[in-house]
Chains A and B, each alone.
Chain A
Amino acid sequence: MENLRDLYQEVILDHNRNPRNFRKMEKPDGFAHGNNPLCGDQIDIYLKIRDGIVEDVSFDGMGCAICTASASMMTLALKRKTEQEATALFESFHHCLTEDEPHPEDVPLGKLEVLAGVKEYPVRVKCATLAWHTFLAALKHRQDSISTE
């Protein structure tokens, strides 16, 4: 029970209760639908890109607390990032959740750091990364559906 607080930190519960940028977007430049068939999480990601920079990103859908909080925090972290910076941030975030040692090229995670507790719950890593995978799909293919399975 004690360790659980590392997973369900107050910040995470807050993002789950009041997700930021939780809205559909009219005429997005990029859109993707992500789903995790294992638990029924469904997420839509909307993007506005200008000159290679993420101008706006929002999400919509239904997921567990980890999935929703991660999506919410991701939208904040991505704003004004270049596509390269966004990809690098995802890679570093992913390393943080799945690997013991940081990689030399990892960039600072800032507020995303609170999700590091997910590492202790390997079955929940997909919950925390669903929004990110969906974001990358929105960036790349613009109109695709993606699945974590």
Chain B
Amino acid sequence: MSGAAPYDVTARRLDFPILGRSVHGQPLVYLDNAASSQHPRQVIDAVGHFYEHSYSNIHRGVHLLSQEATLAYETGRLAARGLLNAACSHEVVFTSGATASINLVAQSYARPRLKAGDEILITHMEHHSNIVPWQMVCEQTGAVLKVVPINDSGELEMDAFEQLLNERTRLVSVVHVSNALGTVNPVERIVELAHEQGVPVLLDGAQAVPHLPVDVQALDCDFYVFSGHKIYGPTGIGVLYGKEALLNAMPPYQGGGDMILSVSFKGTTYNNLPYKFEAGTPNIAGAVGLGAAIEYVQSIGLDAIAAHEHELLRYATERLKEIKGLRIVGEAANKAGLISFVLDRVHPHDIGTILDSQGIAIRTGHHCAQPVMERYGVPATARASFALYNTRNEVDALVEGIRKVIGMFE
């Protein structure tokens, strides 16, 4: 991009009040963004302002506050539509998060269609939330879960994917960016191959939307899910994008208020999209916060964020590789900004505690991806994951911190 202003990470950091605090007497170095990211003042203020000025229930009242609240909630939906470039806003269903979105598709799309012997195709690098809902629906229907293997560097084995995709496959569900390995999957190709067989595709974008531009129309995926709290928004709000025709053909997931047009004891007429899938009072302030978070991210630009995080990833990978006894788990050619690693003779849990004492927050454990851990023969990993506000200095602090860990265990 010619003439673009250089990325001003110092200014960005000032947007995030929490980054000013200290932890155990040290400046906070927050590298647990893949678990949940922090919130800019713009999001905190939008939610605060909403509660102070416009809060009410939505869609129901004739009074002004209800109208304002409805408008604010629907503005959040428009923002999500824009983020994903969905064709229309009623293809954007608010849920409580990526997990709820996947369960909705499993129960409302897959379950009524599946017969014994049908197959659902996922991969070895899925988050538990893209495994267990399918296991449940398989148990309910007699369908079979098939798993695409991954290679030693953490990439999908696409040959195996093509072989596993067959006339029994009813749905493909794949993570866009892996939370345990950082791998960016070739989702365009996956959708293309699946569609050649007439199989719809769900993409789990929980780790993708904060880090790279996503266009569901260009991808032509059938479902796309993400969570608000990983893209600088609140918890308890997320999105299910679905193609209109598919969503229309699906029965409601939960029954209740707001998802109906009329109810009588003779029968009930369901509401239109997206309300058919939004039973009960939703997370109104969450949608407002998510809208503000998306607006914030877009004001910086996802291309600029991606470039910044890629540079951090490149630098961190180079520095971590200097450390003797450190092994990076997941070295796909196409990676987003996170690094899983293990140390000889030091358990990740100990790494986490010792880094924490230096103010450095990372994640340790299986990252809700136990099959990945098993694939690489480790009980757990330590994971540093980057956001738009992280700096090279923080990578240096991480490297120093790891050296202290090793020193302690020598």
Contacts and interface: CB of A to CB of B under 8 A. Distances in A.
Interface string A106-129: 000000000000000100100100
A36 to B, nearest CB: 9
Interface stretch (A24-32, A37-45, A96-104, A132-140): A37-45
A65 interface: yes
B373 interface: yes
A8 interface: yes
A8 B373 CA distance: 26
Interface string A1-39: 101100110000100110000000000000000000111
A22 B354 CA distance: 25
Contacts of B358: 1
Interface stretch (B75-83, B173-181, B245-253, B343-351): B343-351
A65 B350 contact: yes
A64 B144 CA distance: 36
A73 interface: no
A39 B357 contact: no
Contacts of B350: 8, 64-66
Nearest to A40: B379
Contacts of A65: 346-347, 350, 409
B380 A39 contact: yes
B310 interface: no
25 contacts: A4-B354, A4-B408, A7-B353, A8-B350, A8-B354, A8-B408, A13-B408, A16-B409, A17-B345, A38-B365, A39-B348, A39-B349, A39-B364, A39-B365, A40-B373, A40-B379, A41-B379, A62-B347, A64-B347, A64-B348, A65-B350, A67-B347, A68-B347, A121-B353, A127-B349
Interface of B: 345-350, 353-354, 357-358, 364-366, 373, 379-380, 404, 408-409
Nearest to A124: B353
Contacts of B380: 39-40
Interface in A67-119: 67-68
B347 A63 contact: yes
A3 B26 CA distance: 13
A101 B304 CA distance: 55
A62 B314 CA distance: 32
Interface of A: 1, 3-4, 7-8, 13, 16-17, 37-42, 62-68, 121, 124, 127
A1 B380 CA distance: 24
A59 B269 CA distance: 62
A64 B342 CA distance: 12
A66 B352 CA distance: 13
Nearest to A7: B353
B354 A40 contact: no
Contact of B404 (A1, A37, A64): A1
A63 B350 CA distance: 10
A40 B357 contact: no
A1 B403 CA distance: 13
B346 A40 contact: no
A48 B62 CA distance: 75
A97 to B, nearest CB: 15
A121 B350 CA distance: 12
B191 to A, nearest CB: 34
Contact of B379 (A8, A16, A62): A62
Contact of A40 (B345, B365, B404, B408): B365
Given A8-B408, A39-B365, A40-B373, A64 B349 contact: yes
B353 A40 contact: no
B410 to A, nearest CB: 9
B341 to A, nearest CB: 15
Given A8-B408, A39-B365, A1 B347 contact: no
Contacts of A16: 409
B349 A41 contact: yes
B347 A13 contact: no
A90 to B, nearest CB: 22
Given A40-B380, A63-B347, A127-B349, A3 B357 contact: yes
A4 B348 contact: no
B29 to A, nearest CB: 14
Candidate in A38, A41, A64, A124 with the most chain B CB atoms within 10 angstroms: A64
Contacts of A42: 379
Nearest to A121: B353
Contacts of B366: 37, 40
Contacts of B347: 39, 62-65, 67-68
Contacts of A17: 345
A124 to B, nearest CB: 6
Interchain residue pairs A-B with the least CB separation, the first 8? A40-B379, A64-B347, A64-B349, A40-B380, A39-B349, A65-B350, A4-B357, A64-B350
